[in-house]
């Protein structure tokens, strides 16, 4: 198998493409004939480079409508099983990914990985506010943590509404994991004057489905879940740049980043590899090679450095 220091640009692009197309790390290792540890390191390097790139590039977004939601997954074990799990690492348990989506450009404006409490809601909304260039209409679900977070981050400079869904008992053929039946929705104005025609979370919920389809570790009822929180976060960072800059959106006929004016061209995965190379530290310079031809030369050199 190929090791990390010998992987070409094409091979690294193939690995990253498979990870973003829903393949697990083990299957990617087999198909690409690359050592598993090399894939782990490549994912970490890609995640760090994509995190920095998104933070620098997705700024000053001119948006009209923003939808926010959270998607559940877990690391190593579900929260209820962490206490009895063997050698559970730090960060094990339920893991939530917060996303803010531009409803018109389908751009992921901001994301956050962690818990689902008020602390994460505040950090997430502050980041969303810092990336927008104008007043927007925002829609979230009925999660109460959004109320204080949106007010603390935007104040009165936002048109904000909640879309609250009410669920009842599932109907039809029932199974162990049958979801509840949505029996009604409620639009609740919170701040400003939101247009009721655009109070919706449909686009961000569809993006949640894309996340589950494109990242193997988000797939339910499999053993492909993340084993380490760091790998989970790095995959989300990689996916976000891939979704914004590489993946063509069928409705837009271009990528979300092109639609939002963040880039004039269509990216491919080799551009993400270029981000990794640009973020890599410069190789340390080697000390000059000295060939000691005689004991006298060694003695002179040693006396020079020792004074």
Domain that includes residue 138, residue range: 4-246+263-279
CB 101 within 8 A of CB 109: yes
Largest CA distance in the chain: 93
In a domain, 30, yes or no: yes
* Residue 14: per-residue pLDDT: 97
Nearest-5° angle of CA 260, CA 114, CA 116? 95
* Residue 302: per-residue pLDDT: 44
In a domain, 254, yes or no: no
**How much of the chain, in percent, has pLDDT values that exceed 90?**
79
In a domain, 258, yes or no: no
In a domain, 303, yes or no: no
In a domain, 63, yes or no: yes
Report, as an integer, the average pLDDT of 94-110.
97
For 161-215, the pLDDT digits (tens) are 999 988 777 776 566 666 777 778 899 999 999 999 999 999 999 999 999 999 9
* Residue 304: per-residue pLDDT: 45
Which among 30, 27, 46 has a CA at the least distance from the CA of 236? 46
Long-range CB contacts for residues 246-254, cutoff 8 Å, separation at least 24: 246/20, 246/271, 246/272, 247/20, 249/106, 251/106, 252/105, 252/106
In a domain, 307, yes or no: no
Which among 82, 93, 42, 63 has a CA at the least distance from the CA of 280? 42
* Residue 289: per-residue pLDDT: 58
Instruction: Please count the structural domains in the chain.
Output: 1
pLDDT classification of 120: cutoffs 50, 70, 90: very high
Question: What mean pLDDT value characterizes the chain?
Answer: 90
Please spell the DSSP secondary structure of 175-207, one letter per residue: -TTPPPEEEEEEEEEEES---GGG---HHHHHH
Report, as an integer, the average pLDDT of 121-132.
97
Chain mean position to CA 206: 16
In a domain, 216, yes or no: yes
Which among 211, 207, 241, 240 has a CA at the least distance from the CA of 226? 211
* Residue 277: per-residue pLDDT: 94
In this predicted structure, the answer to whether residue 3 has a pLDDT above a threshold of 60 is no
In this predicted structure, the answer to whether residue 24 has a pLDDT above a threshold of 90 is yes
Dist. CA 273–CA 46, nearest whole Å: 7
In a domain, 178, yes or no: yes
List, edge to edge, every strand of the sheet that includes 108-114.
108-114, 93-102, 65-75, 137-140, 159-168, 181-191
* Residue 285: per-residue pLDDT: 67
* Residue 221: per-residue pLDDT: 87
Q: Return the CATH number at 123.
A: 3.30.420.10
Name the pTM for this structure: 0.88
For 227-266, the pLDDT digits (tens) are 999 999 999 999 999 999 999 999 999 999 999 999 999 9
In this predicted structure, the answer to whether residue 298 has a pLDDT above a threshold of 50 is no
* Residue 185: per-residue pLDDT: 86
């Amino acid at each position: 198998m190929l090791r990390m220091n010998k992987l070409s640009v094409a091979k690294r692009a193939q690995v990253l493409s498979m990870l973003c197309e829903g393949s697990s790390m083990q299957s990617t290792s087999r198909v690409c004939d690359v050592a598993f540890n090399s894939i782990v390191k490549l994912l970490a390097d890609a995640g760090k480079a994509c995190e920095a790139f998104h933070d620098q590039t997705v700024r000053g977004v001119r948006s009209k409508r923003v939808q926010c939601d959270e998607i559940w997954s877990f690391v190593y074990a579900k929260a209820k099983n962490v206490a009895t799990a063997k050698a559970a690492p730090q960060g094990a348990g339920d893991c939530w990914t917060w996303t803010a989506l531009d409803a018109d450009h389908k751009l992921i404006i901001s994301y956050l990985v962690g818990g689902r409490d008020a602390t994460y809601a505040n950090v997430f909304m502050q980041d969303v506010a810092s990336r927008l260039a104008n007043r927007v209409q925002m829609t979230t679900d009925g999660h109460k943590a959004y109320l204080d977070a949106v007010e603390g981050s935007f104040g009165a400079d936002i048109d904000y509404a909640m879309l609250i869904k009410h669920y009842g008992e599932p109907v039809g053929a029932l199974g162990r994991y049958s979801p509840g039946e949505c029996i009604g929705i409620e639009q609740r104005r919170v701040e400003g004057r939101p247009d009721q025609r655009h109070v919706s979370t449909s686009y961000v919920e569809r993006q949640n489905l894309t996340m589950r389809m494109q990242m193997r570790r988000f797939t339910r009822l499999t053993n492909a879940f993340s084993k380490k929180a760091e790998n989970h976060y790095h995959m989300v960072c990689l996916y976000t740049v891939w979704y914004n800059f590489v993946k063509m959106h069928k409705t837009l006929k271009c990528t979300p980043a092109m639609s939002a004016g963040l880039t004039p061209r269509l990216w491919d995965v080799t551009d993400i590899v270029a981000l990794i190379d640009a973020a890599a530290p410069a190789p340390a310079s080697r000390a000059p090679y000295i060939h000691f031809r005689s004991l006298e030369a060694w003695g002179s050199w040693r006396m020079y450095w020792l004074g």
